[in-house]
Structure 1
Amino acid sequence: MFAYNLWQWIAFFIIYCLIGWIGESLYVSWEHRKWVNRGFLHGPFLPIYGFGAVIILISTIPVRNNYFLIFLFGMLGATLLEYFTGWAMEQIFHVKYWDYTYDFCNLHGYICLGCSLTWGVCALLLTGLVHTPIEKLVLSLPAVPLMVIDIVFAVYFIWDMITSAQEAFDLKKIILENEEVQRLQKRLDVIHAFAEDDKQKFEDHLKEKNMQYNKSKEEITKEFEAKLQAAKDRVANRSEKAKTHATRIIRRNPGSISYKHKEEFEAIRKRIEERMQSKR
């Protein structure tokens, strides 16, 4: 056990990605009472389970005969993976694709005690039960067919990662563009409010915002109105393709949330739900 070559490791990664997707999709579908193709990718694969299984198998090599250490090492390895993956995805896409913020003993919403303990249990089940038949299957495959399967999967996996990342970036752009509209609208409302007041009070307000009072209120108002209209035009002209991308990735991740742009993200989710209901 564990004496595998590269192609066999890739095969294990593929299989556990698929098993993870099946489990997650069934659980989330049951939770939401409708079918959900769970995950970041389009296809039936959840990479975090593939990487998690590989990390568990590798990390437990030195302690393969000690159940407690298998539990401990498997839990720590998979938990670190889950934390780093969740953190990196939120930094890149501004969205949390899973969130444990309201779960007991969580860390920044990326990991929680319950899930970490589950990873430990999975490590025991994986090394003691699940991996044995999968190992026999993979080791029974001839080298050339195994390489072909791995290469085909790798090509598909890279394509799926690229297209799914594009969807996530489109969602991020839509969030930021809508947020810019809201920000400019609020600033314009403030300018209109001060336009009814005296010049000195308006000048003091601009100084507080580190803006020089070298233009009339009318000029500043027109500037912000132009910026607001340009931002609205960008939102309106956002392609249907980008909107479809945003819809797909939110539907695949119904528990996702954006704390950086919470108000706008929830507004986008609501519009997507309303659009889906209108099509029924």
Structure 2
Amino acid sequence: MHLTFYELSAFFFIYGFLGWCTEVCFQALSRGKLINRGFLNGPICPIYGVSVVVIIWLLEPLAAHGVILFLGSVILCSFLEWLTGFILEKLFHQRWWDYSKEPFNIGGYICLRFSIMWGLACVFVVYIAHPTVAFLLSLVPHTLGPVILCILGAAFLADCAATIGTMIGLNKRLLHIEKTASRLREFSDDVTEVLYEGSIRAKDNAEKAKSELEEQSDEFREKLSKGKEELQIRARKKKQLAEEHRMELERKLTYGQQRLLKAFPGAGSTRYSEAMELLKQHIDRYKKQKGGKK
């Protein structure tokens, strides 16, 4: 089917917006929450726009063959979803959806259940939705349409740039958290080793001196106990300071970073997995505390 650049661009934004609406409704019904599910800040899911445009461009001529249209939609949409997930993970080291627990999945990027849903949705679009959308688009004045598309295109590119910046900032934040957690583990291991060696050394010294300094044993044990307590107090203070530093890093998330984590609760970092889990736990605790205060 021959489509002009104007039509391709218009359909991309229209179906990207409709896909965003679908995601919001799906999340509201399945999770009972109002969530901006899109990867971008604006009300658009590019994967829907791209997928439907590709289907219309390549497969609408096969509309007379429903089974072929369905199978072609399943294959093309699944490939685009796999490609999108793969590229996002490689670029930003984040996996924003994971179908690993779904049966018949490929790498967690796609699964049979959602691929079938993609196919059914595309059949619905080609037979029912698209004729109406194409008719409504034809009613838009040719002088006004390109202007609207230019505005939408500029906003879309700005949104993409902002989201990329958000992702880079999130990875930097996760790196700081990971380093802080690593220092905490190293410090904890050092303290454990010092306490262990100190205890063993003190025990050996105490046994050697027992026969010679029996009358001073009580004083020695008291000094040993005080020394241990002071070391433990210093260790707790240092650990508390490090923990406060880590929590401060977590609290400094931008709105965009918080929105992405809220929109994709199953997201995971392939590079900073531990830091991502710590971040999610802190956000959950913060939400509970905030809810309790209300």
Both structures adopt the same fold (TM-score exceeding 0.5): yes
1:84 is matched with: 83
> Hey, what's the Cα distance between the residues in 2 that align with 1:4 and 1:134?
14
Amino acid at match of 1:112: C
Matched residue of 2:82: which SS?
Answer: helix
1:16 is matched with: 15
> Hey, what's the Cα distance between the residues in 2 that align with 1:240 and 1:104?
37
Amino acid at match of 2:13: I
Aligned residue runs from structure 1 range 227-246, under 5 A:
238=249, 242-246=253-257
> Hey, what's the Cα distance between the residues in 2 that align with 1:68 and 1:82?
21
Distance verdict in 2 for CA 1:133–1:61, change over 3 Å:
closer
How many aligned positions are there? 250
1:219 is matched with: none
> Hey, what's the Cα distance between the residues in 2 that align with 1:234 and 1:145?
53
Residue 38 in 1 paired to residue 41 in 2?
Answer: no
Distance verdict in 2 for CA 1:239–1:162, change over 3 Å:
farther
Contact 1:90 1:96 in 2 (8 A): yes
1:274 is matched with: 285
Deviations 1:12-57 (A, max 9, x none): 1111111111111111122222211111111211111111111111
2:213 is matched with: none
1:123 is matched with: 122
1:188, distance to aligned residue in structure 2 (A):
4.2
Q: What stretches of structure 1 of length at least 5 have no aligned partner? A: 198-227
Q: TM-score, normalised by structure 2?
A: 0.75
> Between the two proteins, what is the percent identity of the paired residues?
26
Contact 1:174 1:235 in 2 (8 A): no
1:208 is matched with: none
Deviations 1:153-189 (A, max 9, x none): 0011111111122222222222222112222333444
Deviations 1:64-91 (A, max 9, x none): 3221221122111111110011111112
Q: TM-score, normalised by structure 1?
A: 0.79
> Hey, what's the Cα distance between the residues in 2 that align with 1:240 and 1:152?
35
> Hey, what's the Cα distance between the residues in 2 that align with 1:121 and 1:258?
31
Amino acid at match of 2:111: C
Contact 1:167 1:246 in 2 (8 A): yes
Q: What stretches of structure 2 of length at least 5 have no aligned partner? A: 198-238
Contact 1:75 1:116 in 2 (8 A): yes
> Hey, what's the Cα distance between the residues in 2 that align with 1:66 and 1:56?
14
Contact 2:36 2:259 in 1 (8 A): no
Contact 2:176 2:249 in 1 (8 A): no
1:247, distance to aligned residue in structure 2 (A):
1.4
> Hey, what's the Cα distance between the residues in 2 that align with 1:233 and 1:267?
13
> Hey, what's the Cα distance between the residues in 2 that align with 1:21 and 1:233?
38
2:208 is matched with: none
Deviations 1:194-224 (A, max 9, x none): 5666xxxxxxxxxxxxxxxxxxxxxxxxxxx
Matched residue of 2:267: which SS?
Answer: coil
Residue 65 in 1 paired to residue 52 in 2?
Answer: no
> Hey, what's the Cα distance between the residues in 1 that align with 2:244 and 2:87?
31
2:266 is matched with: 255
Deviations 1:229-250 (A, max 9, x none): xx98985775966444321221
1:136, distance to aligned residue in structure 2 (A):
0.6
260-269 or 10-19: bigger deviation: 260-269
> Hey, what's the Cα distance between the residues in 2 that align with 1:269 and 1:19?
30
